[in-house]
Amino acid sequence: MLSFRGKARSVRLVPVSLVSLWFGVLVVVAVACAPLPSASGGSETPALTDTSPPTGTIENPLPGSWEDSYVYIEALFVDPDGVSSGSLSLALDGFSLSYDRSADPSWRSVRVYDYVYGLEEGPHTVEARAQDILGNGPTVLTWSFSVDDTDPILTITYPVGNPLLANASVVLAWTGSDVPSGIDHYRVQADDGPMFNVGNVTSFPFHALAPGIHFFRVMAYDKAGNYNSLSDPPIAVATVPNPPPAAPPVVNATVNATTNAAIQVTLSGPDQVPAWGIGLIVITTAEAVAVAALALRPRGEAGRRAWLKRYGRT
């Protein structure tokens, strides 16, 4: 310790090391009173407003649902005090899952989830647990779902083979079955057209089909989302015949031999005759008369003489 004497008062100087000691004590007390960081980096300091356990919600799969062998499992826990990270658990059929989790910064809303592959067909049970950071709980969610890993079976009953569709229409018909969940709905398609969800009916009409061969496809979906393979779908074939050939053109000829004007001889046909089937020929009056005279010329010697006398020929 150092001391100085002055005129009216004395001054005592406290060693610097003692000041540092007091400051260090204050820092330690402040740190001790600060909220403890959680495993997620958020604060687990309770708000002390809620003594209830977390609220749990089943997110996926829904209770009683049908799933294929690939299942996503998720549960949500919410608590105003914050959810304790160490209290979380997720199990399937009694076996713990190495789940993942996601939480907001305060850890008041936490999701636990996992993906499961290759489950056997039949029922399965999930259990998810969580407590708040005060130890309230645990909240336990328990629910069941079922797995269907078998594709539906489908058979198209009409058309079979490749029938001719005289009226350009067909009513596609089929049968389908599935285990263990059963058929949920069918979808049908003609050629490259849209696929129609037709529900649970087993027939569907197509009308006004163009001439030519047509392909029809039916897809069956079970309640777990399985379907008959797109690479090998049930396909039916049918053909709409071409229309009958058009009637030959009809010739309508008009000859006007009384004038020297040009004469038109027109070839025309019914409406179905294409444009290229209609021709137009123009000849003169003299040519028309000569053609007619030759056509009417009598046969035999007597006739030849009468014809020469009539037309002044020798």
Per CB under 5 A, residues contacting Ca ion are 50, 52, 79, 81, 132, 136, 148, 150, 178, 222, 226
Shortest distance in whole angstroms from residue 198 CB to Ca ion: 19
Task: Give whichever of 80 and 249 is closer to Ca ion, judged by the CB atom.
Answer: 80
* Residue type for position 261: A
d(CA 186, CA 171): 15
Shortest distance in whole angstroms from residue 81 CB to Ca ion: 4
d(CA 268, CA 313): 39
Find out whether 83 and 38 touch, Cβ atoms under 8 Å. Answer: no
Task: Give whichever of 146 and 189 is closer to Ca ion, judged by the CB atom.
Answer: 146
Find out whether 164 and 178 touch, Cβ atoms under 8 Å. Answer: no
Alpha-helical runs (H) found in the chain: 16-33, 285-296, 301-310
Task: Give the β-pairing of 263-268 and 280-283.
Answer: antiparallel
Query: CA–CA distance from 225 to each of 116, 122, 151, 185 (Å)?
Result: 17, 15, 9, 10
Which residue is listed with tokens 């399937």? 92
283 alpha carbon, distance to own chain's centre: 68
Task: Give whichever of 74 and 81 is closer to Ca ion, judged by the CB atom.
Answer: 81
How big, in percent rounded to 5, are the helix, strand and coil portions of the chain? 15, 40, 45
d(CA 290, CA 303): 18
Shortest distance in whole angstroms from residue 148 CB to Ca ion: 4
Find out whether 186 and 195 touch, Cβ atoms under 8 Å. Answer: no
Shortest distance in whole angstroms from residue 241 CB to Ca ion: 40
Shortest distance in whole angstroms from residue 80 CB to Ca ion: 6
Supply the DSSP symbol for 248.
Answer: P
Shortest distance in whole angstroms from residue 216 CB to Ca ion: 23
Shortest distance in whole angstroms from residue 84 CB to Ca ion: 10
In the chain, count of helices (H) and strands (E)? 3, 21
Shortest distance in whole angstroms from residue 135 CB to Ca ion: 9
Task: Give whichever of 45 and 239 is closer to Ca ion, judged by the CB atom.
Answer: 45
Find out whether 152 and 66 touch, Cβ atoms under 8 Å. Answer: no
Task: Give whichever of 38 and 136 is closer to Ca ion, judged by the CB atom.
Answer: 136
Q: 143 by DSSP, 3-state: which?
A: strand
Shortest distance in whole angstroms from residue 205 CB to Ca ion: 28
d(CA 279, CA 195): 48
Task: Give whichever of 80 and 277 is closer to Ca ion, judged by the CB atom.
Answer: 80
Task: Give whichever of 216 and 221 is closer to Ca ion, judged by the CB atom.
Answer: 221
Task: Give whichever of 129 and 214 is closer to Ca ion, judged by the CB atom.
Answer: 129
Task: Give whichever of 126 and 147 is closer to Ca ion, judged by the CB atom.
Answer: 147
